[in-house]
Amino acid sequence: MADTLLQELSNADLDWLISTGERSRLSPGQPLRSSQLNAERVYILIEGKLGLNFGPGSATATPPMQIDELNPGEVIGIETLFGRSEMTRVETLEPVLVMALPVAKVQQKLQEDIAFAAHFYRAIAVILSSRLRRIFEQPNRIQFWGDRSTKEVLSIFGELRDSDVDWLASFGHTAAIAKDQVVLQAARPVDALYIMLDGQMCISAPQQGQFNPLVLCFGEADDNGRDQPAFTTISKGGMPGIISFLDFRPLPVTIRTVKDSLVFAVPRQTLVTKLQVDDSFASRFYRVIAIEVLELLQAVSSQLVHPAAVNQTADDKHWDEELDMADLEQLSEGAKKFNWMLSQLGVT
């Protein structure tokens, strides 16, 4: 994790971050984002350790609960970059050194420098995927929270251009999968980008003490996921297995069909080649993936703290209570592009 930014960013990218950022040291127990000024910045953790808490501040009746520890190389305040509400509170667990970057300057750089955007969005997607992976590898902490909102998922397609959707439709293929079949197996690699076109799948994880991909893959048990409690179900527009598509690491969850389903798959190597040669496409694709993983991470985190709130997660509240005209336009545009892809694939 400490090397993610160094691995994904170029020297020019790093030079810009260093020249734009402002370094500061914080004492243990100090909240990192406790003012409006701080909320207008994103932070890179350089030294020390931070606690990531889900929930509001200590002034409420329900105190926040720590859901993760963040080590050097993490980026804090990612939600702000995507216009999402922050659902976490970050505090220092020991003396730390951070570098603060104004959100406005980062967003301007992302718009003006396509190569930087491609590198930076990929790094953010990998960082978020690692956080989600750490939670999935402790499945006893997670409660079932119902079906992910189709509105929430389809809106992401509004981030893509028509040419992006056209390329995906040209190089992928569809596959029908019967009910109660394993689509992606825990501890195995993900060899394609999958998008659900119809049906329903569930996400679960092996219930052993510590995630051990070698035992799961080569052990004696034939674990098909049927006896594992589901965390959630996903439907049209969902991207099963996306967290392992980015970093090539074994998938920490099992994904199985609940109903007869139809999926669209783009071979990994085909997509990786496209991403390597087309920075413009890569910048939009990795932004979509980062948003998808962020929203899934927020939904999972809410169920670690408030398992009784099964019928309305914080994401549901975002859609039901805070859906403004920009959200509606994004949803409408995403749905149109998704439906256009279906027509290109001959799916009704």
Query: 170 and 68, same structural domain?
Result: no
Q: Output the pLDDT for position 267.
A: 96
Give the end of a domain, one of 112, 133, 153. Answer: 112
Query: 106 and 145, same structural domain?
Result: no
Q: Is the pLDDT of residue 154 over 50?
A: yes
Q: Output the pLDDT for position 67.
A: 87
Q: How far is CA 187 from CA 175, 200, 216, 250, in A?
A: 22, 22, 6, 5
Q: Is residue 212 part of a domain?
A: yes
DSSP, residue by residue, 22-89: EEEEE-TT-BSS-SHHHHTEEEEEEES-EEEEESS-TTSSS--EEEEEE-TT-EE-HHHHTTPPP-EE
Query: 265 and 184, same structural domain?
Result: yes
Give the end of a domain, one of 93, 112, 131. Answer: 112
**pLDDT tens-digit series, residues 100-111:** 999 999 999 999
Query: 171 and 67, same structural domain?
Result: no
**Residue 278 structural domain:** 141-344
Q: Is residue 126 part of a domain?
A: no
Give 119's contacts (C-beta < 8 A, 6+ positions apart).
8, 9, 10, 13
Q: Output the pLDDT for position 294.
A: 92
Question: Tell me, what CATH number does 333's domain have?
Answer: 2.60.120.10
**pLDDT tens-digit series, residues 182-217:** 999 999 999 999 999 999 999 998 876 667 888 888
Query: 85 and 204, same structural domain?
Result: no
Q: What is the mean pLDDT of residues 271-280?
A: 97
Q: Is the pLDDT of residue 121 over 90?
A: yes
Closest to 109 in 3D by CA, of 120, 99, 98: 120
Q: How confident is the model at residue 131 (pLDDT cuts 50, 70, 90)?
A: very high
Q: Is residue 75 part of a domain?
A: yes
Q: Distance (Å, rounded) from C-alpha 130 to C-alpha 249? A: 10
Q: Output the pLDDT for position 312.
A: 41
Q: What is the mean pLDDT of residues 219-247?
A: 81
Query: 240 and 308, same structural domain?
Result: yes
DSSP, residue by residue, 302-322: HHHH-TT--S--HHHHHHHHS
More confident residue, 231 or 199: 199
DSSP, residue by residue, 276-292: HH-HHHHHHHHHHHHHH
Q: Distance (Å, rounded) from C-alpha 14 to C-alpha 120? A: 10
Q: Is residue 133 part of a domain?
A: no
Helices and strands (H, E) in the chain, number of each type = 14, 14
Q: Output the pLDDT for position 39.
A: 77
Q: Classify residue 248 as exposed, middle or buried by CB count within 10 Å of its CB (0-12, 13-18, 19+).
A: exposed
Q: What percent of the chain has pLDDT over 90?
A: 53
3-class state of residue 335 by DSSP: helix
Query: 70 and 152, same structural domain?
Result: no
- Compute φ and ψ for 121, nearest 5 degrees: -65, -35
Q: Is the pLDDT of residue 316 over 50?
A: no
Q: Distance (Å, rounded) from C-alpha 1 to C-alpha 102? A: 23
Q: Is residue 31 part of a domain?
A: yes
Q: Is the pLDDT of residue 140 over 60?
A: yes
Q: Output the pLDDT for position 122.
A: 97
Q: Is residue 330 part of a domain?
A: yes
Query: 229 and 83, same structural domain?
Result: no
Query: 162 and 14, same structural domain?
Result: no
Q: Output the pLDDT for position 51.
A: 93
Q: Is residue 136 part of a domain?
A: no
Q: Is the pLDDT of residue 313 over 60?
A: no
Q: Do the beta carbons of residue 92 and residue 26 sit within 8 Å?
A: yes
Query: 148 and 284, same structural domain?
Result: yes
The side-by-side arrangement of strands in the sheet containing 50-54 is: 65-70, 50-54, 88-92
Neighbours of 27 (CB within 10 A): 9
Q: Is the pLDDT of residue 46 over 90?
A: yes
How many structural domains does the chain have?
A: 2
Q: Do the beta carbons of residue 153 and residue 289 sit within 8 Å?
A: no
Q: Output the pLDDT for position 184.
A: 94
Q: Is residue 45 part of a domain?
A: yes
More confident residue, 57 or 260: 260
What does the angle CA 204 – CA 208 – CA 209 come to, to the nearest 5 degrees? 125
More confident residue, 176 or 159: 176
Query: 297 and 174, same structural domain?
Result: yes
Query: 67 and 25, same structural domain?
Result: yes
